[in-house]
Amino acid sequence: MILSKWLPAILLTGLLQSTTVYAHYPLMFCESNLEVISCEVGFTDGSKAIGKVVRLFDYDENLLQEKKSDKFSKVEFSRPSGEYYLQFDSGHEFPVEVDVGEL
């Protein structure tokens, strides 16, 4: 009987304290000029990806360069010759890849 008296209050408290959990996925925006490729990495919730690794591969899957993002979530690579792609793997979900044709 005591439980039935307090049950609505307990349920209401539980509903008010519950929060919705949203997944955040990795993002990468890159641009290039003749010598440098600049990328900014982060997540869909707006958070930065400071200190995360971004890799530059050729089409034969050879790692050409690897750098960590700075305090602004940015990274720069010297532009290689030939075809290549960039990869940001945040460690969860799927890695983000940007192809040379998208720059």
pTM: 0.73
Tens digit of each residue's pLDDT (9 = 90 or more) over 1-60? 455 555 455 555 555 554 445 557 899 999 999 899 999 999 989 899 999 999 999 999
The predicted structure's pLDDT at residue 14? 55
Domain count within the chain: 1
- Domain membership of residue 16 (yes or no) is no
Closest CA to 37 of 49, 29, 25: 29
CATH number, residue 88: 2.60.40.1930
Residue range of the domain that includes 82: 24-102
Beta strands in the chain (DSSP E): 26-32, 36-43, 53-58, 63-68, 74-78, 84-88, 96-99
- On the 0-12 / 13-18 / 19+ scale of CB atoms within 10 A, 92 is exposed
- Domain membership of residue 6 (yes or no) is no
